[in-house]
Amino acid sequence: MSDIWPDKFLLGNKTAVITGGAGLIGKEIVKALAQAKANVIIADLDKKNGKKLERSLSEDGLNVSFKKLDITDEESIQETIDSAEKKYDGVDIWVNCAYPRTSDWGKRFEEVNYESLKKNVDMHMNGYFLCCQKIAEYMKEKDGGVIINFGSTYGVVGPKFDIYEGTEMTMPAPYAAIKGGIINFTRYLATYYASHNIRANVICPGGVYDGQDERFVKRYDENTPLGRMARPEEIAGPVLFLCSDAASYITGEVLMVDGGWTTW
Ligand X SMILES: NC(=O)c1ccc[n+]([C@@H]2O[C@H](COP(=O)([O-])OP(=O)(O)OC[C@H]3O[C@@H](n4cnc5c(N)ncnc54)[C@H](O)[C@@H]3O)[C@@H](O)[C@H]2O)c1
Say which of 175, 188, 209, 220 is annotated catalytic: 175
The reply on whether position 25 binds ligand X by CB under 6 A is: yes
Kind plus residue range of the DSSP H or E element containing 120: helix 114-120
Which of 15, 80, 152, 224 contacts ligand X by CB under 6 A?
A: 152
Select the span of 14-22, 162-170, 191-199, 245-253 touching ligand X (CB under 6 A): 14-22
The reply on whether position 11 binds ligand X by CB under 6 A is: no
The reply on whether position 216 binds ligand X by CB under 6 A is: no
The reply on whether position 19 binds ligand X by CB under 6 A is: yes
Minimum distance, C-beta of residue 87 to ligand X, in the bound complex (Å): 19
Task: Report helix, strand or coil for 226.
Answer: coil
Biggest alpha carbon distance in the chain? 55
Contact 185/252 with Cβ under 8 angstroms?
A: no
Which of 11, 15, 18, 26 contacts ligand X by CB under 6 A?
A: 26
Q: How is residue 153 annotated by DSSP?
A: G
Kind plus residue range of the DSSP H or E element containing 146: strand 145-150
Give the other-Cβ count within 10 Å of 33's Cβ: 28
Contact 194/251 with Cβ under 8 angstroms?
A: yes
Separation between Cα atoms, residue 142 and residue 91, nearest integer Å: 9
Q: How is residue 154 annotated by DSSP?
A: G
The reply on whether position 129 binds ligand X by CB under 6 A is: no
Minimum distance, C-beta of residue 145 to ligand X, in the bound complex (Å): 20
Subset of residues 66 to 105 that bind ligand X, contact rule: CB under 6 A: 69-72, 97-100
Among 127, 239, 226, residue whose Cα is nearest residue 185: 127
**Nearest to ligand X of 69, 136 (CB atom):** 69
**Nearest to ligand X of 45, 146 (CB atom):** 45
Contact 232/208 with Cβ under 8 angstroms?
A: yes
**Nearest to ligand X of 69, 247 (CB atom):** 69
The reply on whether position 201 binds ligand X by CB under 6 A is: no
Task: Report helix, strand or coil for 259.
Answer: coil
Is 209 marked active-site?
Answer: no
Which of 14, 15, 17, 20 contacts ligand X by CB under 6 A?
A: 20
**Residue 18 phi, psi dihedral angles, 5° rounding:** -115, 105
The reply on whether position 46 binds ligand X by CB under 6 A is: yes
Q: Site residues (CB under 6 A) for ligand X? A: 19-20, 22-26, 44-46, 69-72, 97-100, 123, 127, 150, 152, 205, 207-208
Question: Mind telling me the catalytic residues?
Answer: 175
